[in-house]
Amino acid sequence: MRRLFDNPFSPFARKVRLVLATKRLPFESVDALALAHHAELLRVNPRAEVPTLEDDGFVVVGSADIVAYLEDLHPAPTVFPATPRARARARAWERFCDGVFDAIVHDISIWTWPTHRRQDAAPAGLLEAGRRDLAEIAARVEASLGEEGFLCGDQPTIADFALFPHVSSLKPLGVLLDEIAHPRLLAWNRRMRELAAVREDLAHLKTMALERFGRGDSPYEGVKIVWRGDRLEWLFANGFHAWWAEELHAGRAVVPSWRGEAR
At 179-196, the pLDDT tens digits run 999 999 999 999 999 999
pLDDT at 257 > cutoff 90: no
217 phi/psi in degrees, rounded to 5: -100, -170
The half-sphere exposure of 7 on its side-chain side, counting CA atoms within 13 A, is 23
Beta strands, E only, the chain? 2-6, 28-31, 52-55, 58-61, 225-226, 253-254
pLDDT at 263 > cutoff 60: no
**In the predicted model, what is the mean pLDDT of residues 121-150?**
96
Distance CA 241, CA 235 (A): 7
Question: Is 3.40.30.10 the CATH number for 2-73?
Answer: yes
- Residue 215: pLDDT band with limits 50, 70, 90: confident
pLDDT at 73 > cutoff 70: yes
Give every CB contact of residue 244 below 8 A, 6+ residues apart in sequence. 227, 232, 235, 236, 253
**In the predicted model, what is the mean pLDDT of residues 231-236?**
98
pLDDT at 260 > cutoff 90: no
**In the predicted model, what is the mean pLDDT of residues 158-177?**
97
Number of H helices, E strands in the chain: 11, 6
Q: Which residue has the higher pLDDT, 170 or 256?
A: 170
pLDDT at 43 > cutoff 90: yes
Percent of the chain with pLDDT over 90: 91
pLDDT at 261 > cutoff 80: no
Domain boundaries, the chain: 2-73, 84-213
**In the predicted model, what is the mean pLDDT of residues 204-216?**
92
**In the predicted model, what is the mean pLDDT of residues 129-133?**
98
pLDDT at 113 > cutoff 80: yes
Q: Parallel, antiparallel, or unpaired: how do β-strands 253-254 and 225-226 relate?
A: parallel
CATH node for 84-213: 1.20.1050.10
Q: Give 217: exposed, middle or buried? Use CB within 10 Å, 0-12, 13-18, 19+.
A: exposed
Sequence length of the chain is 263
Residue at 68: amino acid letter: A
